[in-house]
């Protein structure tokens, strides 16, 4: 895509950004060392726990104090860097942060990270020969700096901006209302009657944790009945659709007297640096101001293509959930949901870098836009919310394999998908005790499981 070595901006130093930076550094023949922009003072992204749950503006992480992973470390790790084998399969979030810190140092990524440097704006520019490059404006020590890059990898995650559905009358509800993003520990909810809206992994885990302290806990959700026996003070209810001063009303009309509502409703995508801000031609960073033509940033053309907002899907049309279909030197690494994130970003980062190197040709822009448009329309016509546009679930393993086969890098071991499915079955059968299991990967195809801990927990 350009002559000489390419200069790539990486936005974010969480797992996706660290993995992207590692793979850029491993390709020094074709890439300059990356510039990693990190708005906080350390690596780890959402895995950096903070007690400051009430300070919404300063809360980046969604970790709560006692969180343990809901996936075994044997499938969570990057394929080229292992967790400490002495740890159990399901580990405390602090061990994951330590793993990412060790990964950063093992691959000498830290010198390339600009800490406490948020990105202010990102925009594409074409020159007189219609060659595309990117301008990234960042802020450090109160000053804004403009830099030029050949490509951008957006690695900001999607667990920092809560998605809260509209609930009629919620402003009249006199109880406490919060999102699981701000939940930290159960003791402060002692003796309360709590409704959790949403029965995904966070909803179920927090309900179980709260049950030891709360008076009662109600899981409000639209899905099928849960097939496990919850604690005695945990019950189920249909989705909450409205509220009164002291009650929450379900879609079947029943009223739940409660003093706390916790939204376990997922998260919004958020890319504020793509929003229009101001003209930045006067920021030259020591360079002579250049003539530039800022390219159109719109979504897709056509009356039936409603542009998703920042919460409901992705702002741009994405080809294969990674690459901006109109501007293929821009990628979004780790934006997919319901996945094992570290192996997935390991594949996505390699795919994008091989595209940049010219070793993995993409279809024409018109075809990528057409595929993105069809995916959007099919999703919408099927009646699915736009926020599910990039959910992969069990399809992630076929997707990862396609990335590897298409770009020509080593695919993930098939055992990861098998272990993922086994974990899902154990979790669905009994989320109270499945974390007592321990797994051992025997080879690329096989694993074994030790169920003794789970048996003891059941007794």
CA distance 364 to 161: 34
**181 with 195, same domain?**
yes
Give the per-residue pLDDT at 387. Answer: 81
Q: How far apart are CA 142 and CA 448, in angstroms?
A: 53
HSE-CB at 407 with a 13 A cutoff on CA atoms is: 23
Is 452 part of a structural domain of the chain? Answer: yes
DSSP string spanning 187-255?
GGGTT-EEEEE--SHHHHHHHHHHHTTSSEEEEE-SSSPPSS---TTEEEEPPEEEE-SSEEEETTS-E
* In a domain? residue 360: yes
Question: Same structural domain for residues 247 and 273?
Answer: no
Q: Is residue 2 part of a domain?
A: no
Phi and psi, residue 380, nearest 5°:
-65, -45
On whether both 406 and 422 belong to a single domain, the answer is: no
54 burial (CB, 10 Å; 0-12 / 13-18 / 19+) is exposed
**Residues 272, 144 share a domain:** yes
* Residue 149 CB coordination number (10 Å): 20
What mean pLDDT value characterizes the chain?
Answer: 89
141 lies in a domain? yes
Say if strands 132-140 and 119-126 run parallel, antiparallel, or are unpaired. antiparallel
Domain boundary among 211, 228, 263: 263
Quote the CA–CA distance of 253 and 209 in Å, as a whole number. 28
Residue 3: inside a domain, yes or no?
no
Phi, psi of 391 (to 5 degrees): -80, 135
Interstrand relation of 151-154 and 176-179 (parallel, antiparallel or unpaired): unpaired
Closest by Cα among 258, 262, 203, 264 to 230: 203
Spatial distance between the Cα atoms of 127 and 19, rounded to a whole number of angstroms: 31
Give the model's confidence band at 258: pLDDT under 50 very low, under 70 low, under 90 confident, else very high. very high
pLDDT, average across residues 52-81? 84
In a domain, 43, yes or no: yes
Owner of token pair 């700096």: 145
Round to whole Å and give the CA distance between 299 and 305: 8
CB count in 10 Å sphere of residue 66: 12
Same domain, 342 and 232: no
CA distance 196 to 19: 34
pLDDT at 214: 97
Provide the number of structural domains found in the chain.
3
Do 421 and 327 share a structural domain?
no
Looking up residue 405, the CATH number of its domain turns out to be 3.50.50.60
Predicted pLDDT of residue 77: 98
Q: What is the pLDDT of residues 67-106, one digit of tens each?
A: 999 999 999 999 999 999 999 999 999 999 999 999 999 9
- Cα separation, 103 vs 239, whole angstroms: 42
Are both 125 and 233 inside the same structural domain?
no
Q: Which two tokens stand for residue 56?
A: 């919404």
Q: Mean of the pLDDT values across residues 41-70?
A: 83
Higher-pLDDT residue of 123 and 312 is 123
Same domain for 296 and 406? yes
The one-character DSSP state at 441 is E
Residue 1 maps to a domain: no
**Same domain assignment for residues 248 and 108:** no
- On whether residue 165 sits in a domain, the answer given is no
pLDDT per residue as tens digits for the range 198-255: 988 899 999 999 999 999 999 999 888 888 899 999 999 999 999 999 999 999 999 9
- Where is pLDDT greater, at 263 or 272? 263
Averaged pLDDT, 143-171: 94
**Mean pLDDT throughout 428-434?**
93
Q: How confident is the model at residue 280 (pLDDT cuts 50, 70, 90)?
A: very low
pLDDT band (50, 70, 90) for residue 293: very low
User: Which is more confidently placed, 133 or 278?
Assistant: 133
Dist. CA 237–CA 230, nearest whole Å = 13
Residue 298's pLDDT band (cuts 50, 70, 90): low
pLDDT band, very low/low/confident/very high, at 317 (cuts 50, 70, 90) = confident
Q: Tokens standing for 98?
A: 């330590």
d(CA 184, CA 180): 8
For residues 157-165, give the mean pLDDT. Answer: 89
426 with 287, same domain: the answer is: no
User: Is the pLDDT at 359 greater than 90, yes or no?
Assistant: yes
What φ, ψ does residue 150 adopt, rounded to 5°?
-80, -25
Angle of helix 15-25 relative to helix 93-106, nearest 10 degrees?
Answer: 20
Q: Considering only CA atoms, which of 98, 42, 23, 95 is closest in space to residue 356?
A: 23
The verdict on 53 and 149 lying in the same domain is yes
Domain boundary pick from 412, 431, 448: 412
- Tell how far CA 256 is from the center of its chain: 33
At residue 307 the predicted structure's pLDDT band, cuts being 50, 70 and 90, is: low
The tokens describing 236, both together, are 């189920």
Q: Do 325 and 281 reside in the same domain of the chain? A: yes
Domain, as residue range, for 197: 170-263
């Amino acid at each position: 895509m350009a002559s000489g070595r390419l200069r790539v901006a990486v936005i974010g130093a969480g797992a996706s950004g660290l993995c992207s930076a590692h793979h850029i550094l491993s390709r020094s023949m074709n890439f300059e060392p990356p510039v990693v922009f990190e708005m906080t003072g350390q690596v780890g992204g959402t895995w950096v726990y903070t007690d400051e749950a009430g300070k919404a503006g300063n809360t980046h992480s969604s970790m709560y104090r006692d969180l343990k992973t809901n996936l075994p470390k044997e499938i969570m790790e990057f394929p080229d860097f292992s967790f400490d084998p002495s740890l159990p399969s399901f580990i405390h979030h602090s061990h994951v942060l330590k793993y990412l810190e060790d990964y950063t140092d093992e691959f000498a990524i830290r010198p390339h990270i600009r800490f406490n440097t948020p990105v202010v704006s990102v925009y594409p520019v074409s020159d007189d020969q219609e060659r595309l490059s990117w301008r990234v404006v960042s802020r450090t020590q109160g000053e804004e700096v403009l830099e030029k890059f050949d490509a951008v990898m957006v690695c900001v995650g999607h667990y920092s901006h809560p998605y809260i559905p509209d609930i009629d009358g919620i402003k009249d509800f006199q109880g406490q209302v919060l999102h699981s993003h701000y939940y930290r520990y159960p003791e402060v909810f002692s003796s309360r009657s709590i409704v959790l809206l949403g029965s995904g992994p966070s909803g179920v885990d927090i309900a179980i944790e709260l049950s030891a302290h709360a008076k009662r806990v109600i899981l409000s959700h639209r899905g099928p009945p849960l097939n496990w026996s919850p604690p005695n003070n945990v019950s189920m209810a249909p989705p909450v659709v409205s509220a009164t001063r002291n009650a929450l009303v379900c879609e079947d009309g029943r009223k739940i007297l409660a003093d706390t509502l916790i939204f376990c409703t997922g998260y919004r995508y958020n890319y504020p640096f793509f929003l229009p801000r101001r003209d930045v031609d006067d920021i030259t960073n020591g360079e002579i101001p250049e003539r530039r033509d800022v390219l159109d940033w719109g979504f897709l053309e056509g009356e039936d293509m409603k542009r998703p907002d920042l919460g409901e899907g992705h702002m741009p049309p994405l080809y294969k959930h990674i690459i901006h279909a109109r501007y293929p030197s821009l990628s979004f690494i780790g934006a997919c949901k319901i996945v094992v994130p570290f192996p997935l970003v390991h594949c996505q980062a390699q795919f994008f870098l091989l595209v940049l190197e010219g070793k993995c040709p993409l279809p024409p822009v018109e075809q990528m836009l057409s595929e993105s448009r069809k995916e959007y329309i099919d999703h919408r016509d099927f009646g699915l919310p736009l926020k599910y546009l990039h959910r992969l679930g069990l399809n992630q393993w076929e997707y990862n394999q396609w990335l590897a086969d298409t770009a020509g890098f080593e695919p993930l071991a098939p055992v990861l998908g098998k272990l993922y499915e086994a974990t899902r079955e154990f979790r669905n059968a009994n989320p109270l005790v499945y974390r007592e299991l321990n797994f051992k990967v025997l080879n690329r195809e096989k694993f074994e499981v030790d169920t003794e801990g789970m048996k003891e927990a059941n007794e």
